[in-house]
Structure 1
């Protein structure tokens, strides 16, 4: 079985799973339920800020019950969308593209952009160059997620054969500390945790690989069912995302993100880690269309997608101007 067929088969499995939940769920008191997904990463700061501040719940209003659910990586979010377990979610662009293509455009749309940048290849101190990674183990958060595609694309361009291990981010941190892996291509705050807590060294800053030194890290997607049956609630989530992006341009708002993250991870991260993580991000709802298409092209070249076509993935009803910009490292 060739590699392209194997990868496509793995990614198609979730798309073939039957939808087993109502597309218009209700609480016992008759109120509508809105189910929202996110990742406990600094790259999902708009979600973390919106949940911790209560802004998302307030935006939906008292007649809606908000159910928020955290995931380790984007592919699991897409599986939940396929199973009708989520109405909307923050996710990386590559899982969003995968879900769109595997469902032939029927499962989801991107309704807003949220965060850019914030991913690095961090390696053990003895690794001095890309060639030192040959035949070594390197971690990514999940097969086919945004950092996994970036890592595999970079290795291919460099002509390096390495073993890529899709691992949950906490496991990557543990194995890196034990010296069991040579490096990891991960999003914030995990890359900063590897540098600060485990004395790792940055070998590649992902933004340096992009023509304008900016790439999408987190986008907001909505299920086709939510777009069809509850567009008013999707609109409110899009507006809440924009409010969060504006708020996060002010460093004072990040305390709420840090508090939510501490609860999600079970510990408060060192301030040095958090400061470093935030410094590498750009908070913006600006549509990065060319970068989205490049992400699709890279995934197609690796065999994750049948084509690089993403026509129709952006939902035009919710397109809006740039909301805010944060800082970058």
Structure 2
């Protein structure tokens, strides 16, 4: 499946999920022509890292535009930054984008970025060998209702298990994936629902066992793991700028698929600069096998994911995301 995605020139360059409020002018100085791109320090967001390293946004936007970058640990803060105008566009998980759109936020998915990359691991010594052992255990995800959380809780529901949030027995914690290894070692959590490369890091550092693979977890092979988003206002009022951002994004994805080893080097360097964590090449190699990169968006998968979010009570109303996705810039 992964090879098919890669050969289809699918790529990643978007990631996140968030919430927030504020004025359009709160986040940045409108007197200068500046574009701020947001992304997360994980492998689902490699398209942003490569575009940053190669100066692709700068090249497409031209010398008159200053490009800045801002990183986020989870989707809520990313979405807040988008809504307040602190960032103009960026990569985030589809979960935060959909959750915010459903509550009236001005957000549009304008391209895909990556697929896959969600792995569920059990702490060594936890007694967990399969899903049958999950009841009563403690699991962690980056955020409540985030992409990884919905994927995992959908899988749980299909197995007849639920979290305490909706009347079940599993305790749910949230936190920064870079800290999951330490939490597992300390026995604070039993199960980590981790995006790459943190799943591969956990395997190496803690001997945790993969109990649900990236291609087994719900929506693992079809759902965009990260997407490129922008405000609807910007797509309408400045479509030329959005098109240049997407052109750079597409170029980045094509580079990743054609030059995976160099893209891995860029990823290792960028994640170290952001998190101070030096990833081993073998960790990145393992994580890379669980990811596909594409700028296409599977609208049917987005709707199916959102229907599950509603069923799990992350969304108050059953949504229709037909208008959430704007494919005009990738066609």
Q: Same fold (TM over 0.5)?
A: yes
Partner of 1:319: 330
Q: What is the CA distance between 1:200 and its match in structure 2?
A: 1.0
TM-score by length of 1: 0.86
The answer as to whether partners of 1:24 and 1:32 remain within 8 angstroms in 2 is no
The CA deviation string for residues 237-267 of structure 1, in whole angstroms up to 9 with x for no partner, is 1111111111111223311122111211213
Using CA pairs under 8 Å that are at least 6 residues apart, name the structure with larger relative contact order, 1 or 2: 2
CA distance in 2, matches of 1:142, 1:213: 21
TM-score by length of 2: 0.86
Change (3 A) 1:34 1:212: closer
Unaligned runs of 5+ in 1: 1-12, 321-329
Aligned residues between the structures: 302
Classify the secondary structure of the residue corresponding to 1:316: coil
CA distance in 2, matches of 1:272, 1:199: 15
CA distance in 1, matches of 2:230, 2:221: 27
Partner of 1:262: 272
What are the residue-to-residue correspondences of 1:90-169 with 2, within 5 Å? 90-103=91-104, 107-125=106-124, 126-160=127-161, 161-169=169-177
CA distance in 2, matches of 1:198, 1:211: 27
Partner of 2:71: 70
Q: What is the CA distance between 1:188 and its match in structure 2?
A: 0.4
The answer as to whether partners of 1:86 and 1:223 remain within 8 angstroms in 2 is no
Partner of 2:312: 302
The answer as to whether partners of 2:183 and 2:189 remain within 8 angstroms in 1 is yes
CA distance in 2, matches of 1:282, 1:47: 15
CA distance in 1, matches of 2:70, 2:28: 17
Classify the secondary structure of the residue corresponding to 1:127: coil
The answer to whether the aligner puts 1:251 opposite 2:260 as a matched pair is yes
Classify the secondary structure of the residue corresponding to 2:267: helix
Q: What is the CA distance between 1:303 and its match in structure 2?
A: 1.1
CA distance in 1, matches of 2:86, 2:278: 30
Change (3 A) 1:53 1:290: same
The answer as to whether partners of 2:219 and 2:301 remain within 8 angstroms in 1 is no
CA distance in 2, matches of 1:230, 1:25: 17
The answer as to whether partners of 1:215 and 1:291 remain within 8 angstroms in 2 is yes
Q: 1:26 aligns with which of 30, 34, 47?
A: 30
Across the aligned residues of Structure 1 and Structure 2, the Cα RMSD in angstroms comes to 2.0
The answer as to whether partners of 1:24 and 1:229 remain within 8 angstroms in 2 is no
The answer as to whether partners of 2:136 and 2:170 remain within 8 angstroms in 1 is yes
The answer to whether the aligner puts 1:189 opposite 2:197 as a matched pair is yes
CA distance in 2, matches of 1:102, 1:302: 16
Unaligned runs of 5+ in 2: 1-17, 162-168
The answer as to whether partners of 1:226 and 1:234 remain within 8 angstroms in 2 is yes
CA distance in 1, matches of 2:272, 2:220: 33
